[in-house]
Every structure is written in C-alpha cells, then in structure tokens.
Amino acid sequence: MPVRVGSGTDQCRPAATHLRRQFDGTFGEETIERFLHSSYDQFANRSTIPNYLPLLAERFARQRLHALAKVEGHITDGKPVVLFLCVHNAGRSQMALGFFQHLAGDGAVAWSGGSEPGNEINPSAIDAMSERGIDISREFTKPWTEEIVRAADVVVTMGCGDACPVFPGKRYLDWTLDDPAGQSVDDVRPIRDEIERRVRGLLDDLGVAAQH
C-alpha cells in the first residue's frame, strides 16, 4: 500500500541545495522550493518506498525546472524536445523514452509521462529493453505537467485519448500501439520493435542522427 507522509520539507533539504546550485541565476529559491515540494507531493501518496521520495522529487523537479527554463527562454541550445505520453507511464512511453535517449545521445531531449501514472515500470518492458542493451529499470512513473508539455516541440501520445493534454500550436503525433500491461516478454517484443522503428523515424524527421 502507498505510504502517506508529510510535506517532506526536512527530507528535501539536500535536494533543494542541489537544485539551487544547478539553477543559480535562472530561478530564485522560492520557485525552486515550490517545484520541489509540489513534485514531492506528486509521489507521496502512491510511493511504497518513502526513503526514495526525496530522490524522486529532486529528479522530477529538475526536469520541470529545465522545462520551465526552456519555456521562458533561458535555454536556447536548439535541441528538440520530445514528450512521450501514455496512460500509466509504465510501458510504451518508457520504452520510447529509452530508445530515444539511447539513439539521440546529446542531440535531443526526451521526457515521458502518464495521464494516470502507475506505481512501477512494467517488468516485461524492462526485460524486453534489456535485451536491446537499454536499462529502463531506474526510470519512474510520473505525471505530465503544464510546463513540461509547453516545453516540448513534439508530443507523442500512446493510448491516453482525451486525457492527454492538448495545447494549441503544439505538434502532436498519435502512435497506435498495443498496451504491454500484463503481457509477457514474448508479447512485448513486437511492441518494443515497433516503438524503436517509430523512434528512429521521428529522429530522422527531426534531423537528429541516430547514435546506434
């Protein structure tokens, strides 16, 4: 069962220090702490490992602050940003993220999220990706947030339907893929291979050379 905890102020002190150092000159302390504690609250009521919460909060807050920095024009490196969205952020979107990061290297940025985030990454998806030399076991399920969607140049949706966020002027791609939830590794392999094919096509479309 999820472990209910408090706001995490004390637990998040080291994380706040790390983020203040990283975003010094970009965001003030108040903004950083607001993002950190709201990120903590996103996981607090569904996490089964409370000691891991500060790390999850720090990782998610870092992603959100990076997104906000891009939206506000603080990041102008020209790298395309792709957001992969599905329902639970446990299978399809995580495999797409894994392939994209592996193939794009430093040439692009990718994030993932879910409309109803699950509690863990699909074990069959982890095993199927491991067969391709890509480790997604250290990823975590998370929701999408407004600044993350606004920062994305391309939003790829996978089965979240009307629950997926729609922002005017944003480029959307809808990938129809079988849901790997509850399926064996044998069943997930064809889904994995189709995701890789589509990710490679997307990278080519974005003008990003695949590293492998």
Active-site annotation, residues: 86, 160, 164
CA distance 100 to 200: 8
H/E stretch holding 193:
helix 185-206
**Residue 56 near residue 36, CB atoms below 8 Å:** no
Give the number of other Cβ atoms within 10 Å of residue 187's Cβ: 13
* 174-181: Cβ within 8 A, 24+ apart: 175/92, 175/96, 177/92, 179/86, 179/87, 179/91, 179/92, 180/91, 180/92, 180/95, 180/122, 180/124, 180/125, 180/128, 181/88, 181/90, 181/91, 181/122
CA distance 188 to 51: 31
| 22 φ/ψ angles, rounded to the nearest 5 degrees | -70, -40
